[in-house]
Structure 1
Amino acid sequence: MKAKILIVEDQFIEAKSLNVILTNAGYSTCTIARSVTTAVSIIEKEKPDLVLVDIMLQGEGTGIDLGHILSEKNMAFVYLSANSNRQILESAKSTKPYGFMVKPFRAKDVLIMIDVALYLHKHRMPEKIQTTSSQKSEPRILPAEFSNLIGKSQKFLDILELAKMVGLKDTSVLILGESGTGKELIAHSIHKISARRYQPFIVVNCGAIPANLIESDLFGHEKGSFTGAITKREGKFALADGGTIFLDEIGELPLELQVKFLRVLQEREIESIGGTPKKINVRVLAATNKDLEEEVAAGRFRIDLFYRLNVFPLLLPPLRERKADIPLLANYFLKKYSQEEGKQVPTLSSEANDMLMRYDWPGNIRELENTIQRNIVLTNTSVIESLEIPVSRLAVGAAANGKNGFKTMIENERDHILSVLESCNWKISGKGGAAEILDINVNTLNSRIKKLGIEKK
């Protein structure tokens, strides 16, 4: 039996439209409420499973006031809003909603958001979290397509459960996490279990494309549309038509292109440079290691685009928060790179394992992989007694420093850059290089190395 939903909306036409969407999809609906007072009364009488709450309502009180009440009652709810800003975002977040939809929205978006909200509420109620964490009685059944996602820690398995759920939904997903946490791997796995699995999976690194080329790269251009456009070019969105596009480092997308990207999400159409609008059928997965809410506050990222992307956020934990997975990952990379080098797979001594566990891995899984690969190349024994990882510089830490046990920001920056350089054998650019691990431009990294006086010993 489908959930019962309460619509709290003071605009008659929009409330009616939402009601039609829900009833056509098989949901039962409560009496429509247009104020906080009416909504509270209906909740007591009709006991809805989920509430859709507009921000601006009739009478005293706003949707956010109602959100506080719903949160106290442990009820699932989603905000609806036509006008949003940073202050509204902060106030709304404090009430712990399961989503925030910006008007106008399509029927499909509404129904996916409801599915997501009901799923999250079912699996994230406090008593369920405690049961899952302490008893772990229910076996997790993950799809075979997730077999390359290595880990057994609770935090990581929780993320995989969410990824499995959202993979079956044809909705946008925003994958958050530090550099090197496996955002692209998760995105690819989501694509592989979706209905689009046999269609293209196109990867775009928004931070690696020069600003003057990114529009053409994403949306394409027509012949003669600008100087140098001697032929027509299909953009990445057109190449992904029918499938999935993964936009890595979405926080680097210039503001002027964010408007065009928003149109893709809202209207499902693209417009090449010099061309005309064209309908497109593509699923968008995006990732960033930036705090997009801070980017919104700084005026570098559109808040309406943030809400469109943030329908289903997945926050990948850094490796230091899932240390139980380090031995598993290390063994995986030992086998992988031993096979590539044509060597017998070595084992790690207890001392080597301890070194892995003591280090905080600022470059996350990518840094661990580079470290294991380097040690495989260097070793010719069946047991690796000691690993070459940059633990000493960070482990010695403040105690050796005379400033009341603390280092300056410059000293910490120098140590961090040096440790990453050592972990990847001083490779600066390219895949697995220090610039990629640190998530900064190669030229910027070279400038910092020179300014900080970092030299290879």
Structure 2
Amino acid sequence: MKAKILIVEDHFLEANNLQMILERAGYQVCSIARSVPIALKIIEDESPDLVLLDIFLQGKLTGIDLAKSLNEKEIAFVYLSANSEKKVLDVAKLTKPYGFLVKPFRERDVLVTLDIAWYLHQNKKEVRENKAGFEGHLNESSYGNALKDIIGQSLEMQNMLNNIKIVAPSDTSVLILGESGTGKELVAKAIHRVSRRSNKPLVVVNCAALPPNLIESELFGHEKGSFTGALNRRIGKFEMADGGTLFLDEIGELPLDLQVKFLRVLQEMEIERVGGTIVKINVRVIAATNRNLDEELAAGRFRLDLFYRLNVFPLLLPPLRERQDDILILADFFLKKYSAKENKTITRFADHVQKSILEYHWPGNVRELENLVARSVLLALGPVINSFALPAVKAKQVDSPGQVKIKTVNENERDYIISVLEKCNWKVYGDDGAAKLLDINISTLNSKIKKLGIKK
């Protein structure tokens, strides 16, 4: 069923044009409001599903003021604006709209944006409902067992575990973002194990490893004789995952022509085998990438409509260098794992080894740490690891004469946070505080201040 829409726009011709576009497409336009007070009254009386909202309106109150009320009422909204200044858009983004339409806009742009906005809103509603019913799905012991492979006590990882608990019971798409080696596949497996699909298949596909000429056949399957060498019918990865979960790692590597077909699969929940047979499927999709998708979108290498379909519930995995509290915990975990595997009794790392582990930058993240611990266990001759062969480039180095010292990421981050705190007179909270200026949660900023040893 199409959403019921309220248009909040103070230009008569533009409001009427929008109404005609929407009604031709089958939407019900409950009303047109030309100011915030009128819009609030209509919202109270009509309960629209979605609001098209001009940022600049007549009167003292703007569209951004109305957006705050819409968020409280959990009503989806899309901004309209002829002003594309970065300063205005940055303020508007803080209200978490479901999309932007910059005037003048085409009919197709309006309809695609509304379709995506409504899809995202419905999925977020499903996530909230599933969160409320989660307690009956798994007991605490089963839940802990399902997440046993995700190691970490840092605030970042505790937030990650909580987000997994929220999203796992639903069927909504999940997009996992993070550098190589941060554990994106572990998170995908954990989501599947906690989900109601846990007794069905989890099929993992590395999109970067698929031969370009066989991607379509690998994902969707093919019929016998559909191309040279197709001697038998082949079932693709989507059909293998029917009833369960399909994890598409490195989704950013998919070519554009395949992205179009993949978008159709998400929309229609059916695939077309190479050779013509259409098959209905029931698959939950989790995707991951180490690419910066904002840059990929800007360069035209990734489709915006597919991004929105996947990005219903994004999970950002922090790099290991931003999880200082977890580094030694992970190192000890891998030490126990590989000591048992090699049938050795190794109890700990020497103090100087722990210090070097903490000072290293970890460009390869958790995967690099695991590999280095495994190698150290193999080479260890006693119960204590006294040697840890870190790569030559370390986070902290002694400068050679005449060399300019290169700061680590943590040092640069520390300097930047201090400069912002000084600018805010060391105020963390409030509209004029550092957290607002940095656009991060207050708890995250406090955690960074503590971790980086920042003092006034």
When normalised by structure 1's length, the TM-score is 0.69
CA displacement at 1:15 relative to structure 2: 13
Secondary structure of residue in 2 paired with 1:380: coil
Residue deviations 1:417-447 (CA, integer Å, cap 9, x gap): xxxxxxxxxxxxxxxxxxxxxxxxxxxxxxx
Equivalent in the alignment of 1:400: 400
Gaps of 5+ in 1: 20-30, 121-138, 408-457
Secondary structure of residue in 1 paired with 2:288: strand
Equivalent in the alignment of 2:432: none
Q: Does the Cα contact within 8 Å between 2:67 and 2:95 map onto a contact in 1? A: no
Q: Distance in 2 between matches of 1:370 and 1:351?
A: 19
Question: Which amino acid counterpart does residue 63 of structure 2 have in structure 1?
Answer: L
Equivalent in the alignment of 2:344: 343
Secondary structure of residue in 2 paired with 1:212: helix
The yes-or-no answer on 1:66 pairing with 2:63 is yes
Mapping for residues 303-322 of structure 1, pairs under 5 Å = 303-322=304-323
Equivalent in the alignment of 2:94: 95
CA displacement at 1:187 relative to structure 2: 0.5
Question: Which amino acid counterpart does residue 243 of structure 2 have in structure 1?
Answer: G
Question: Which amino acid counterpart does residue 66 of structure 1 have in structure 2?
Answer: G
Question: Which amino acid counterpart does residue 111 of structure 1 have in structure 2?
Answer: Q
Residue deviations 1:117-157 (CA, integer Å, cap 9, x gap): 7999xxxxxxxxxxxxxxxxxx9x96431121100000111
Q: Does the Cα contact within 8 Å between 1:319 and 1:361 map onto a contact in 2? A: yes
Secondary structure of residue in 2 paired with 1:278: strand
Q: Distance in 1 between matches of 2:130 and 2:34?
A: 25
The yes-or-no answer on 1:285 pairing with 2:289 is no
Equivalent in the alignment of 2:362: 361
Q: Distance in 2 between matches of 1:44 and 1:103?
A: 20
CA displacement at 1:40 relative to structure 2: 6.4
Secondary structure of residue in 2 paired with 1:395: coil
Alpha-carbon RMSD across the aligned residues, in angstroms, is 4.1
Structure 2 residue aligned with 1:114, among 125, 143, 146? 125
Q: Distance in 1 between matches of 2:229 and 2:188?
A: 34
Question: Which amino acid counterpart does residue 113 of structure 1 have in structure 2?
Answer: K
Secondary structure of residue in 2 paired with 1:213: helix
Secondary structure of residue in 2 paired with 1:104: helix
Q: Distance in 2 between matches of 1:255 and 1:15?
A: 30
Q: Distance in 1 between matches of 2:70 and 2:305?
A: 29
Equivalent in the alignment of 2:195: 194
Q: Does the Cα contact within 8 Å between 2:206 and 2:248 map onto a contact in 1? A: yes
CA displacement at 1:195 relative to structure 2: 1.0
Mapping for residues 359-438 of structure 1, pairs under 5 Å = 359-390=360-391, 392-396=393-397, 399-400=399-400, 402=402, 404-405=404-405
Equivalent in the alignment of 2:442: none
Secondary structure of residue in 1 paired with 2:239: helix
Secondary structure of residue in 2 paired with 1:233: coil
Secondary structure of residue in 2 paired with 1:396: coil
For the structure 1 residues 324 and 272, does the alpha-carbon distance in structure 2 shift closer, same or farther, using more than 3 Å as the test? same
Question: Which amino acid counterpart does residue 304 of structure 2 have in structure 1?
Answer: I
CA displacement at 1:386 relative to structure 2: 2.9
Q: Does the Cα contact within 8 Å between 1:78 and 1:117 map onto a contact in 2? A: no
CA displacement at 1:264 relative to structure 2: 1.0
Q: Distance in 2 between matches of 1:386 and 1:47?
A: 72
Percent identity between matched residues is 44
Q: Distance in 2 between matches of 1:272 and 1:220?
A: 5
Equivalent in the alignment of 2:181: 180
CA displacement at 1:70 relative to structure 2: 2.3
Equivalent in the alignment of 1:127: none
Q: Distance in 2 between matches of 1:267 and 1:108?
A: 13
Question: Which amino acid counterpart does residue 146 of structure 2 have in structure 1?
Answer: E
CA displacement at 1:115 relative to structure 2: 4.6
Q: Distance in 1 between matches of 2:183 and 2:41?
A: 42
CA displacement at 1:16 relative to structure 2: 12
Q: Does the Cα contact within 8 Å between 1:52 and 1:77 map onto a contact in 2? A: no
Q: Does the Cα contact within 8 Å between 1:67 and 1:97 map onto a contact in 2? A: no
Q: Distance in 2 between matches of 1:78 and 1:255?
A: 33
For the structure 1 residues 186 and 406, does the alpha-carbon distance in structure 2 shift closer, same or farther, using more than 3 Å as the test? closer
CA displacement at 1:403 relative to structure 2: 5.9
Secondary structure of residue in 1 paired with 2:115: coil
The yes-or-no answer on 1:295 pairing with 2:293 is no
Question: Which amino acid counterpart does residue 336 of structure 1 have in structure 2?
Answer: K
Q: Does the Cα contact within 8 Å between 1:142 and 1:161 map onto a contact in 2? A: no
Q: Does the Cα contact within 8 Å between 2:205 and 2:249 map onto a contact in 1? A: yes
For the structure 1 residues 106 and 404, does the alpha-carbon distance in structure 2 shift closer, same or farther, using more than 3 Å as the test? closer
Secondary structure of residue in 1 paired with 2:212: coil
CA displacement at 1:165 relative to structure 2: 0.3
CA displacement at 1:390 relative to structure 2: 1.7
Q: Distance in 2 between matches of 1:105 and 1:59?
A: 23
CA displacement at 1:298 relative to structure 2: 0.3
Equivalent in the alignment of 1:251: 252
Q: Distance in 2 between matches of 1:58 and 1:180?
A: 41
Q: Distance in 2 between matches of 1:313 and 1:348?
A: 36
Q: Does the Cα contact within 8 Å between 1:337 and 1:373 map onto a contact in 2? A: yes
Q: Does the Cα contact within 8 Å between 1:99 and 1:117 map onto a contact in 2? A: no
Secondary structure of residue in 1 paired with 2:67: helix
For the structure 1 residues 375 and 290, does the alpha-carbon distance in structure 2 shift closer, same or farther, using more than 3 Å as the test? same
Aligned residues: 367
Q: Distance in 1 between matches of 2:39 and 2:264?
A: 39
Q: Distance in 1 between matches of 2:206 and 2:85?
A: 31
Question: Which amino acid counterpart does residue 70 of structure 1 have in structure 2?
Answer: A
For the structure 1 residues 154 and 78, does the alpha-carbon distance in structure 2 shift closer, same or farther, using more than 3 Å as the test? farther
Equivalent in the alignment of 1:148: 149
Q: Does the Cα contact within 8 Å between 2:360 and 2:394 map onto a contact in 1? A: no
Secondary structure of residue in 1 paired with 2:208: coil
Q: Distance in 2 between matches of 1:402 and 1:72?
A: 59
CA displacement at 1:75 relative to structure 2: 3.9
Question: Which amino acid counterpart does residue 37 of structure 1 have in structure 2?
Answer: S
Q: Does the Cα contact within 8 Å between 1:102 and 1:307 map onto a contact in 2? A: no
Secondary structure of residue in 2 paired with 1:207: helix
